[in-house]
Structure formats: C-alpha cells, structure tokens
Amino acid sequence: MTGALTKGDTFNLVPTPPPLPKMALCNETHLLSQTEICGERFKQDMGHIAPKNLCNLTHFIRQYHEFTQCTEKGAVRIHCYWPNPLVEGYIIRIHKHFFSNCSLDRVVWLDPPEEKLLALILVPVFLTLAMIALVVWCSKRSDLLG
C-alpha cells in the first residue's frame, strides 16, 4: 500500500524523455570508401547512356536513384547520417563530372505576336471598365431595381 501525499510532496509533471540509444561514431574513412563504391557503379551505369542523353533525366533516373539509395544505405549501415557533408561533396563532384554542360541550353523567351499581346492586354482592361460601368449604372438605378 502506498502512502498518501502530504503537503510537502512534489512531483514533476513534465515527462522525461527516454535516454537516446548509444550510436556508434561515424567512420568517415569507411563512409568515403562506401561512397566511392557507389560512385564507381554509377559511373559504369552512366557509361551506357548516350552522351546526347546525359541531360535528359528520363534516360538515367534509374541509375541516379540506385546511386542515391546506395549512398544512403551505406551511410546508415556504418552509422553515419545521410546526407552529410562528405557524401554531399561526392555527389557535387558527380554532378560536375556528368551534368556540368546541362545548364548551358537556355530557353530563349520570345514575346507573343503583337496582335495576341494587344488582345491579352485590352480584353481585361475593357472587362474591368465594363464592370465598373455596370456597378455605377446599377447603383444609380437602385430605386427602380430594389
């Protein structure tokens, strides 16, 4: 049987979180070697992609996904967080190697033909003026309408 609470008893209403499990330290050397293994496999897979298709994600999305999964699973397996600066640095080097020329093709935006541009500007202006005129006309005739 437990004793009754007395006036001097206090207890903490804020729950204490459970202790965090001890994690092994990240072995950065092992992480880099694991990332290199994933990168070599990715480089071999990308060797099968035609150079003209290197900037088209639909041609290599599977290989890129496998590379990402490989680096993530490898990092977690050796108790490292993912993403982390080491893996990010490697991924940036991969991007510079394979995809550095992909952003050179810039889309050149052209103005629409003048008649279309004129219609796109004037239609909203005239609709706005018509709505204002309708509101003014209705407010003047409120005695007859209401």
Q: What CATH number is associated with residue 83?
A: 1.10.150.510
> pLDDT band at 64, cuts 50/70/90?
very high
The pLDDT mean for the chain works out to: 83
Q: Please compute the mean of the pLDDT values over residues 34-40 and round it to a whole number.
A: 94
Of all residues in the chain, the percent with pLDDT exceeding 90 is 45
Within-domain flag for 71: yes
Within-domain flag for 45: yes
Give the 3-state secondary structure percentages of the chain, helix then strand then coil, rounded to 5: 65, 0, 35
pLDDT for 99 equals: 85
Domain that holds residue 71: 28-104
